[in-house]
Each structure stands twice: as C-alpha cells, then as structure tokens.
A and B are shown apart, each in its own frame.
Chain A
Amino acid sequence: MTQDFTSCTNVGPITVTVKEGKVVRVRPLVAEPGDFRPWTIEAGGRRYSPPRKFNIAPFVLSERDRLYSEDRIRTPLKRVNFDPKGERNPESRGRVGFEPISWDEAIEIVAGELKRVKDAHGPSAIAAMTSSHHNWGNVGYKMSAFSRFFNLIGHTPVLDNPDSWEGWHWGATHSYGFYWRLGMPEPYDMLEDALQNAQMIVFWSNDPDSTRGIYTGQDAAIWRQWLKEKGVKMVFIDPFHNYTAAAMGGKWIAPRIGTDTAIAMAIAHVWITEQTYDSQYVADRTVGFDEFRDYILGKADGCPKTPAWAEEQSGIAARTVKALAREWASKRTVLSSGARGGEGGACRQAYGTEWARMMVLLQAMQGLGKPGISIWGTSMGAPVDAGVWFPGYGDLEGRISTSRAAAACPENPVAQRLYRPIVPDAILNPPVHWLGEGFCNRSLEQQFIPYTYPAPGCSEVKLWYRYGGSFVGTMTDTSKWVRMYQSPKLEFVVNQDIWWSSETGFADIILPACTQLERDDIGEWGEPGGQTKHGSSGCNFRVVVRMKKCIEPLWESKSDYEIFTLLARKLGVEAAYTEGNTERDWARKIFEISDLPKRISWEDFERKGYYIINAPEQRKFTPGLRWFAEGRACDTPDPRNPKLGTDKAHELGTYSGKIEFVSESLEKAFPDDAERPIMPHFIPSWEGHQSPLASRYPLQLLTPHPRYSFHTHYDKHARWLDEIPLHRVVKNGFAYWPARINPRDASARGIENGDVIKLHNDRAAVLCAAVVTERVRQGVVHSPVSSAKYDPLEPGNPRSVDRGGCVALLTPGRMMSQNVPGMAPNSCLVEVEKWNG
C-alpha cells in the first residue's frame, strides 16, 4: 500500500511516494494534465509552448538518498570534553568526538547557555547564523521559524553578502539602479522578447545549465533549445567551456581571469571609433558618455582601450574582439551576463564592480530595452500571472517572523551586526569595520553605511548558534572559520542541522533537525519574493505546493520549529513564539493571507497538494526596460520599483534616473575612490596573472557554482551524486572533487587525467582529481566552489591538507576593493602538483 505526498524543494516541486512509513520514490510533482494551461509564444511563424511538466534540478532526484543518508545527525550530541559547568576546552573543537545525550539534556544545556550569556552580557553576545537554502518553505525557511525565535530572545544577526553577484550589487546598481533587485534587471517577458527579436546571445561568464535560474530547476533548458533551433547565434565568454556552451555550441572565447573588463572596454572602443553605437539612445537615456568616451579613447590617460590593448591583458586576439564587437552591433544582441541577467564569476573577483558596470554600459550603447537588446540570463522571464499574489520568503508577509499571518512579531532589540565574509576576523581580531548593510535593497546609500563590530554599547559575541549548512566550502579563505571555532572567545557553540556538514563537528552541542519531508509547510516553487520578485518566471508554470509531512522525523530528529518551540518553552516564551500554532497552522495562515483562497479552498488545496497559477490567456506584453527605452512610465509588474505610480515612473533608480556612465551616487559618496572610480576603469587584479605572486603560483583558480549540487547542499549527503563522474571522481574508493586543467599545464607538471593532485598556495592545500581537458584555457584551473566535504587529513588543524575538495580554503579573504565589501574568490593564484601521499 503506497501513498503519495506533495512537497517542494529549493529547486523543484516533487511527489513523494511512501510505502509502509518509508519513502520509496521522489519524482517531479505529478499534476493533473487539466490543471496546466500552457502559454504560447508566437515567433518567426512558430508557436512555442512548454510541456505539461515540472523539470527539476538533478540533485533533487537524490532527495531520497539524502533523506536516509548516513550523514544524518541522529541524536542530540555533546562534545566529549565539553562540560558547561566545568572545563569547556574550546581549543579542541573539531579535534574530538561526541556522545549522544537526551533531548531533555540538550535543551537544558542550550537554553541554560542562552540565558546565562544573555544575563551576563546582554542579547548582543548571542549570534546566530544560517546558511542559504538548506530547505524551502514559508514556515521552515531560515528567515521564518529561525528568525522568529532569535528575534524573540534577541541576538546579533549576521548580514549576508551578495556572494553570487557581488559586482552587480556594489557596481551595476550605480549604473542603472535596480537596487531593489540587488542589481539585477527586471526579468519580465524576456523570453518572448528574445524568441521574437534576438539574433545573437552573448553568454558572458554565464552558465545557465549550471545555475538554472537559481531555484527554478531545468524549466528554462528548453527555451535555449528553442533559441538554438531558431538559429540564434551564441557566443560564450568564459575561461571554461561551460555546460551551456557544450549543449549549445557556438563561438567560445576564453580570456584570462580578471581581464573581462578590458575586453568590454575594447568592444566599446570599436563601437565608438566605428560609430556603431546607438547615439540617440545614449543622448536621451544616459549621462556621462563624453567622459567615458574620452577614457576609452585614451584622451584622459594616454592609453586608448583598443582591441590590441585588450589582447595584451586578456590573451584574446584583437581581431577576435573586433569581430565580436562588430557582430554585436550589427545584430539584435542579448547580453546574458549571469543567472539573473547579472551574476557570473567575472563579478566575483577583484574589482568585479567594474565588469558588472561595463556590462550595463555596453548594452546602453546598443539601446538596452529595445527589442532583442537586453540583459537576460536566459533562465527567467516566461509569461506569468503576476497579478496573483503569494508571498515568498523574501517578502515580509511570507515569513512567520514578520508576517501579518502572526498576531504579533517580536522585534530583535540588538543593533549590532556581523558581516558574513569576515565573521571569523570579527570574532578573532575585533574591532572590524565594513561598509554596507549586506543585501542593500532599500537604497543606494544603504551600501555606504559604516559598521563596526563590536558596536557601541554591545558585547562581543560569546555564544555562536549555527544553523543549517556550512561556509567552509563556499566563503573565502575559509580555514579562518576553523580558527574561529577553536577560539576561547566563543564560550558556547551550538550547531543545529540535518546532516553532518563541514562546521557541525566544531560545535559543543549538536541538535538534529529533520528534513522538510518530515514536517509541514507551504511554498511556491522558484519564488523567493522580495528582491527577486517573480523569480518564478524561470518556471514554465507558477505552482504553490502544500509541503506535506510525508513521514515521521527519522531517528531522534525534530523539525526546526519544534526545536525552537522546546527552547522557547524552557525560556518561558513558548506562547509568544508559537501563538498556539503548529507548522500546518502557520502554512494555512500564509495560504489565507495570499490570493489563493480566491481561487481554491484550503480543503481542496490540502487534498490536491498544489495549485498551478497559469499565465493569463489574454496577456499584455510588457518586456523589461522597454518602457525605459521608449521613454514611457514603467509598465512592468515590478512591485518594488519605488518610482512606480509617481511622476518619475519613466526613470531608473539612479540619481539621474538614467543610465550613468559616470555614477552620480558614487560621485557623492566616494568621489576619489581609485578602486571603484565614479566611471568604470580597468584595474589589474590584486591577485592575477601579472601579480608578483604568479611567479610562485602561476595558475589562476576559477571556482564557479557547481552543476550537480547546490551551495553545500546535496553533495556528500547524497552519495548517489558521487557516481556522476562530472560531479566527483572516485579513485581508490574515495570520491574526489574534480579540478579541470588544460593538457599543456598538466603535462608540464607530469599530471595525467585522473591523478590525485594538490592545489596549493600560501593559504591552503586541497586535494582534487585531475580532469585533463581542452575545455579550460591554459593557465587556468577550474574547480567549482561548494564542496560539502571538508576532510582535513589532520582533523582540527586549520593548516591541514583537505582532501574533500573545499577549494574555498584556497581563495583570498581580501575584499573586492577598499570600499566594496564583496568577496573575490576568482582572484586566486595556485600551483598544482601530483599528490603522492
């Protein structure tokens, strides 16, 4: 006897089959064919319509393996030499083992420590940090159940850095606004525009087959097939011949890392000297072009930014840059410079702001917003019904910590903040200073707010509460996290997670949470809301899923909500935390404040488990930025555009309301910043092929997002993925992380395909399996970030060689530039040698 349940992961909705209390099958959500009403786009005499199905990311199909993983934390655990009433031995974190304890004892210790630290030092001494996307759902997501608890007791939150799109956040916003989208352009109707109008797509530092619209699975893969079949020419600019390039074919241009900005400037040089830019658009829709033109032509600094100049920097022949520039200008060209239009490894390196700004300015020179001339990642922008409101976790209403679905929402009384990429620096060597409030979605000026830790009147952090996932595999120079954990400054460390992750073993107490298949929730696929509103337009169908509890929590695990409820009870604030609600009650309350009750009853939704919000039959075509190009008021359904409905609705979010070649917001804040000048400049990397360090470490390490896992999720916990030879390479029974290397670089070092190799520099040493391939340019090693397996040969030693493939250990902790607190992992020099250990 089997029973099917519905659920939604962070990268796709699923149907879960349970037999005798055990999950036996996880497949893409099965919906009744009659519930789908596919949209149709007409272009070039053809009609394009998506199939009636949901296309999930590969690793979601390993969900069952992850559910029953040997890596699950089965019981509450206490470090064997940790005694909250006696010796705490913090320096041995990560070196010694754990012993099971009861939930009663675990809650007693954790609640007791929360109370002790708060009483002694105030709530600012408690810090709590989440990872991104180890689960999904309006109730269980980190900003919801987690935040409600910590807001209630008070804590120092950790501000996230925009880790995947740094340069767009800190750079492009000053060129074209969209700070409310954290630097991303609006995605509306971009698919229809491209199918009807695009003649060429330039994928610049973008691999949508790996990044998949972030949360929208593989629904957009077929769009690219359509564009390919239609004959749209594709160009890929990437040091790695990426997966989308493999699938699409087309022209591959492989520059040295850190030189993309030079190529962009040389393209501008061709357009200026050959008069092939849209001068009317530049005159009407932009400011500061004359100064930019003079810089490009070398009038300002005596250095014309010619294709020959770019060739010296990038290794790309001047003739190739010229040919690209000419073709770009002669065709209606989409610039696909990251998953959401923006993103891309080129923006996660030294001075990545300059590249991101140049991407905007290049398209401005071609008439950004005109038919087929867009900034579009090719993985968002399907027709959607934006009129049906369902809140995402990024919307205040979509979280139980801030939603009107709750009777009351406690506010965190603590003003102090930490900043994710420099948390260990803050703990180990305070004070630290930085600029910007992490995700700056309210204004451009939010990026300039100075912060200091410890904040005036606040305590240094004594209690560290880590929740879900690990940063050893994703941040930069990450062995400093190990050093932080071993500091006596952290009197108490909790780790609440589902699986053993890279930071779990550094805790004093470990609390086992359950997966979302073991609890109740609700969520819309692919829709973060907030600053990525209508991200679900990367799906062919909007679908809200009732995430059902499919099985009871395994072993002794409990849902995060239940764990926080137990702690709240112990601390005497249970009623304020739960308001008497179960997770299912909260799910229903979120449902009830949304627009869904106008379309389906709770009972029917509960029975079916999902509701598809089809695109309207009569659609109004409002492509992103067409309004701007045509000088009209914004007509896209972008709810956070602050100028909507005002007399400035035809303007962008910059100070001038236009695209700014010379940024007025940067001129006001930092008129003399040589590292993020008011107008973009090419600045050689502080750790690049020309750096003195290159004599010792001559290879540039490229660490893009992985294709077969998500952040540090699924990798390691789902062993099925180890059998995907492109994800990990099994050698002598151990699943190594792959590092791709050009045959010439490999043979110079006596390395053969499949060899275990050591990637090393002054920061770390990491073992990987060599994949010798023509798909990576000489001088570059390609190895994705996000290994979930931190496996030091000497556990607890931050200097140890890691054999798990955490290449983030190698990357520099230095921020992008002096006033830009973005991380720059792709400015990383290494040497590689065969490992004979």
Chain B
Amino acid sequence: MTRYGMVIDVDRCTGCFNCFLACRDEHAGNDHRPVSAAQPAGHSWIKVQELERGSFPKVKVSYVPVPCLQCTDAPCMRAATGGAMARRADGIVIIDPDKAIGQRDIVSACPYGAVFWNDVENLPQKCTFCAHLLDDGWTEPRCVEACPVQALVFGDLEDPTSDVARLIAQKPVEALAPVPAEPPPVRYLGLPTRFVAGEIVLGDGSEECAEGVSVSLRKGQQTFTISTDNYGDFEFLGLEADTEYVLSIEHAGYERFELHWNSSADPNIGTIVIERAG
C-alpha cells in the first residue's frame, strides 16, 4: 500500500521559490475537484521562510519550505465537521472543497500555518501533494518537479527502496516544530539550530589572524573544544535552544575570556579581542 511522504533538505534549499511558483501555476485558476478548488492570490500552499541568524559578519541564512505536513494525527481533521476532511489511503489529507465551506476552524487548527482561508469561496485550502496529478499517474507533485537541487524528495514511505524512505532510514530527519507525537509524513533535514560564531583577535599589535586559538563551549558537564581557523574564526553549530552555555577562550600569555548566555537567542559576539596577561 502506497503512503506518500516527503523529506525537505534545508541544507540544500537555496530559496529560489520554484516550489511556490510551480504550486501557484498548478492551482491558480485551476479547479482540481474533488481534491482542491482553485488557489487564490495570497495563498502559499508551500511557504518558503527565510530565516536569518547571527550578526554581521557571522550571518547564516536558511530557507525552510513548509507545505502541509499531512500530519499523522492531524489537528485540522479534528477541527473539521460534517465530513469536510478525510485522509486518503495513501495518507494525503484532503479538505473537501464543497463540504468545508465556512469552516474557519480548519485554518486556525493548523500549528504550522499551512492552511489558508479563501475569502471569496469562504473555504479553507492547502497543499494536497498534487493528489489530482498522482491519481493521473504522475510520480511527484509540481513543487518537487521544479526543485533544481533535489531539496524536496518525494515518494512512497512504505517502499524501502524509495529515495524518501532511504533518507528517513539513513539520515537524522526531524519533524518541524511544534513536534507532534506521531512523526508526520513530511520531515526535515538540516533545520536551523542555534549557533555561536565569532572572530578572535590577539591584542598583540600584529596584523595577523589568531589561528589555532583554543575555544571551548561548555554546557553543564559537557565541554566541546575547537581551534580557530586561518581567519581567527570559530563556530559552534547545533546548539540546543533555551540552554545555558559558557564560551571560554584560553590562549597562553593572554587573558582568559568567558561569556555566559542562554541560547534563547543568538549571542551577538562579533570580534573578541583578547589582551596580553599581566
């Protein structure tokens, strides 16, 4: 039995918006009943979010495409009444464009903002994985076809040889927050996490970058240590959210530097000048 799913590789996504525009081309003005009514302006059935982190010049940018996640235990389905929503045998969650008229609760139930309200039709609408095309023999939705870097991988979760099943088996896929109890059919690789980065400069009056300076990051009893690179830069990735961290720099002959912060936010570190001891 086929069960469709998708892995979205944020590390690969370049933010080109091909997925958004392919979706718009497929659905704007095109009625695909029974799975979807035409998509009006203002809807992003796959919404690409640009997330910027850090501060100049240590900036990171991620693009996170968010379609309907086809949740295994879908809050929108619980909010729907009168048979307005159903899950197909292949796992795709469908809003019935005729029965769902007037049901705004379907929009507000979605914790991911993936369901949109059509003011004119008085209708909640969302991504269907292009179910009308899959039913017509297509192997992938329009967004996946249009992706130039295979950041969207689509296929049958039940088929262990499919690309999507292999990715889920082999890679550290995650669910988008808020993480549901049951993993949804749409999962992610490389979701942005907290990081800390900076440049260390030795206050020795030289014009040289501080390469090879030892930088430690402590979280509770755990300590991670790296060395600065040829630009004097250091970077710790994959920090946990809302956690107390201590960054310390120790370099022979120089004063010790220490920074405490809580990773509810990215610290603005910039350039750290460490002065000679004594």
Q: Is the CB of B150 within 8 A of A318?
A: no
Interface hit among A244-252, A271-279, A577-585, A629-637: A244-252
Interface residues of B in 187-239 (CB under 8 A from A): 201, 206-209, 211, 230-233
B44 beta carbon closer than 8 Å to chain A: yes
Partner of B145, one of A28, A63, A217, A307: A28
B59 touches A252 (CB 8 A): yes
Q: Cα distance A777–B58 when bound, in Å? A: 11
Interface 9-residue window, one of A40-48, A100-108, A291-299, A321-329: A321-329
List A51-110 residues whose CB lies under 8 Å from chain B: 51, 53, 55-56, 58-59, 61-65
Assembly CA distance A241 to B59 (angstroms): 8
Closest Cβ of chain A to B45, distance in Å, is 12
Q: Which residue in B14, B142, B201, B211 is a CB contact (below 8 Å) of A27?
A: B142
Instruction: Identify which of A243, A307, A775 contacts B14 (C-beta below 8 A).
Output: A243
CB contacts (< 8 Å) of B145 on chain A: these are 27-28, 53
Q: From B14, which residue of chain A is reached at the shortest CB distance?
A: A247
Q: Does B16 contact A (CB under 8 A)?
A: yes
Partner of A720, one of B18, B28, B206: B28
- Asked if B15 CB lies within 8 Å of chain A CBs, one says yes
Q: Give chain B nearest CB distance to A342 CB in angstroms.
A: 23
B15 touches A25 (CB 8 A): no
Chain A neighbourhood of B233, CB < 8 A: 251
Pick from A65, A246, A323: contact of B61, CB under 8 Å? A246
Q: Are B231 and A320 in contact (CB under 8 A)?
A: yes
Is B3 in the interface zone, CB < 8 Å from A?
no
Partner of B209, one of A219, A319, A707, A775: A319
Q: Are A58 and B17 in contact (CB-based, < 8 A)?
A: yes
Q: Kindly state the separation between the CA atoms of A222 and B233 in the bound complex, as whole angstroms.
A: 28
Residues of A within 8 A of B206 (CB): 319
Q: Which chain A residue has the least Cβ–Cβ distance from B48?
A: A724
* B39 CB to nearest A CB, Å: 10
When the two chains form the complex, which single residue of B25, B201, B232 contacts A25, counting CB atoms closer than 8 Å?
A: B25
Find the A residue at minimum CB distance from B53: A774
Residues on the B chain within 8 Å of A252, using CB: 57, 59
A725 within 8 Å of B (CB atoms): yes
Tell me which residues across on chain B come within 8 A of A53, comparing CB atoms. 145
A283 adjacent to chain B (CB < 8 Å): no
Task: From A28, A59, A243, A319, name the one whose CB has the most chain B CB atoms within 10 angstroms.
Answer: A319
- Flag B59-70 by CB within 8 Å of A: 1 or 0 each: 111110000000
Cβ B148 vs Cβ A217 within 8 A? yes
Counting chain A residues whose Cβ lies within 8 A of the other chain, the interface size class is: 35 or more
**Is B21's CB under 8 angstroms from A221's CB?**
no
**Residue A778 interfacial (CB < 8 Å):** yes
Looking at A28, A218, A246, the one whose CB has the most chain B CB atoms below 10 A away is: A246
Interface 1/0 per residue, A684-723 and B, CB below 8 Å: 0000000000000000000000011000000000011101
Contact of A61 among B12, B14, B146, B211 (CB under 8 A): B146
* Choice from B24, B146, B201, B232 contacting A28 with Cβ under 8 Å: B146
Contact of B148 among A62, A219, A241 (CB under 8 A): A219
Neighbouring B residues of A775 by C-beta, 8 Å: 52, 56, 59, 61
- When the two chains form their complex, are residues B50 and A774 in contact, meaning their CB atoms are under 8 A apart? no
Residues of B within 8 Å of A253, CB to CB, are: 57
Residues of A within 8 A of B181 (CB): none
A308 within 8 A of B: yes
- Counting CB contacts under 8 A, is B30 at the interface? yes
Residues on the B chain within 8 Å of A245, using CB: 61
Asked if residues B146 and A56 are in contact (CB atoms below 8 Å), the reply is yes
CB neighbours of A601 from chain B (8 A): none
Contact A222–B150 (Cβ < 8 Å): yes
| Contacts A252-B57, A775-B52 given; does A222 touch B148 at CB 8 Å | yes
Q: How far is the CB of A746 from chain B (nearest CB, A)?
A: 13
Residue A742 at the chain B interface, CB threshold 8 Å: yes
CB of A733, distance to nearest CB on chain B (Å) = 11
Whether A327 lies near B230 (C-beta < 8 A) is: yes
**Partner pick for A778 among B56, B59, B61, CB 8 A cutoff:** B56
Distance in angstroms from A455 CB to nearest chain B CB is 46
A246 and B15 within 8 A (CB): yes
Distance of A134 Cα from B12 Cα, bound (Å): 31
Q: How far is the CB of B184 from chain A (nearest CB, A)?
A: 25
- How distant is A743 from chain B, measured CB to nearest CB, in Å? 8
Distance in angstroms between the alpha carbons of A327 and B229 in the assembled complex: 11
Q: Any chain B CB within 8 A of the CB of A612?
A: no
| Contact indicator A27/B41 (Cβ below 8 Å) | no
Q: Supply 6 A–B pairs (Cβ within 8 Å), ascending by A.
A: A27-B145, A254-B57, A326-B230, A720-B28, A775-B52, A775-B56
B interface list, Cβ under 8 A from A: 12-18, 20-22, 24-26, 28-30, 41-42, 44, 50, 52, 54-57, 59-63, 142, 145-146, 148-150, 201, 206-209, 211, 230-233
Known: A61-B18, A323-B231, A774-B52. 20 other contacts (CB 8 A): A27-B22, A56-B146, A61-B25, A62-B24, A64-B25, A65-B28, A218-B18, A218-B148, A225-B149, A243-B14, A246-B60, A247-B14, A247-B15, A327-B230, A708-B17, A723-B24, A726-B15, A773-B52, A775-B61, A777-B57
